Amino acid sequence: MKVLAIETSCDETAAAVVEGGGTNSFVRVLSDEVVSSLPLHVQTKGIVPEVAAREQLKSIIPIIDETIKKAGVEFDDIDGIVVTRGPGLIGSLLIGVETAKTLSKTINKPLLPVNHLMAHLFSNWIGKENDLPSFPALGMIVSGGHTDIVYFESINKYSWIGGTRDDAAGECFDKCARILLDAPYPGGPAISEASKKIGGKKMEKILPRPMIHDKSLEMSFSGLKTAVLNETKKSNLDKNRKNVLAFDLQRAIVEVLISKLSLALDKNEVKSILVGGGVVANDYFRKHLKLLEKKRDIPVFIPEIKYCSDNAAMVGATAVVLNTKELDVNQFFADPSLRL
């Protein structure tokens, strides 16, 4: 099955052509294009939804054209149009969904809807020829808007078993980067860079590790913002102290994520763990996921850095792996608050 996939849930306009053969097959990417309106949001230090939507509109047709060209295919070769239905910013989602609907009608190809959160987990099928996850499995999505843990009984039967009560881990990185380093969105890379200046030095814990001893799979990251803000009000906030706080923030978030994943493993017998989402690009988190893999002797599937942040290849991968059913164009709408 060969599909054209479209992803427009936030500030990225992305399209990809991917092919794969169902649940036991890896996914091959024939072309994969992304443009982002991020530079336009630097001044506002956060994404302005209307600005993002307007940029989506400008970029969507050129990016689809480019993707089709680079894949070396014609619309006739495509078996379906896959699109992110939600969750995300409504203005941005609408551009992708309405373009996909129009294209589906024009070229007479099935329209296949995908949940953006699931797509982050299915990025683990991209390019991994002899190395696919086994089920039952645990999935952890750690992105700018979501922090969720799901239990997969099988590849297409899952349930939500835990997540954050308030802010997502990515949002915590973003807001704290703004408070601490005056860094624009996305703040995760800025915190990671500042942390590297501290390196492996032994360091006392400064910030709280919210809910780390709680026996549930719930998390909470909003209190960390206040804790960081309070630390910045203390007098000795020089460059080194900022780096120390960035390092401790990254460590606090990763410790909570790893301990909740470990707790989920205690509660559920599984054969693999899948992670996905922008925060998975964080190298400290990746290192600790590898340590967890070793300690618990269970394979942890981590997407290539390129497929951690929003992209269309993961959206296409989800549809080809799950054999997503076609949806009637007239029954299909963007859903900004779509759940898992």
How many of the chain's residues bind ligand KG4 (CB under 6 A)? 19
Encoded tokens for 103: 């294209």
Distance of CA 189 to CAs 45, 180, 206, 298, 318, Å?
14, 13, 21, 28, 27
**Among Zn ion, ligand KG4, none, partner that 170 touches (CB below 5 to 8 angstroms by kind):** ligand KG4
Among 62, 73, 72, 75, smallest CA distance to 34 is for 62
Quote the CA–CA distance of 69 and 55 in Å, as a whole number: 22
* Nearer Cβ to ligand KG4 (314/320): 314
SS3 212: coil
Per the CB < 8 A criterion, the answer to whether 22 and 319 are in contact is no
Site for ligand KG4 in 54-113 (CB under 6 A): none
Quote the CA–CA distance of 227 and 249 in Å, as a whole number: 10
Quote the CA–CA distance of 241 and 140 in Å, as a whole number: 32
Instruction: Indicate whether 143 belongs to the interface with ligand KG4 (CB under 6 A).
Output: yes
Q: How far is the CB of 163 from Zn ion (least distance, A)?
A: 15
Q: How far is the CB of 227 from ligand KG4 (least distance, A)?
A: 18
Quote the CA–CA distance of 25 and 131 in Å, as a whole number: 10
* Nearer Cβ to Zn ion (148/310): 310
Q: How far is the CB of 296 from Zn ion (least distance, A)?
A: 26
Instruction: Indicate whether 55 belongs to the interface with Zn ion (CB under 5 A).
Output: no
Site track 277-316 with ligand KG4 (rule: CB under 6 A), x = hit: xxx-xx--------------------------xx------
Instruction: Indicate whether 7 belongs to the interface with ligand KG4 (CB under 6 A).
Output: no
Residues 310, 320, 321, 332: which binds Zn ion (CB under 5 A)? 310
Quote the CA–CA distance of 152 and 40 in Å, as a whole number: 39
- Write out the residues near Zn ion by the rule CB under 5 A: 143, 310
- Write out the residues near ligand KG4 by the rule CB under 6 A: 10, 143-145, 170, 173-174, 186-189, 192, 277-279, 281-282, 309-310
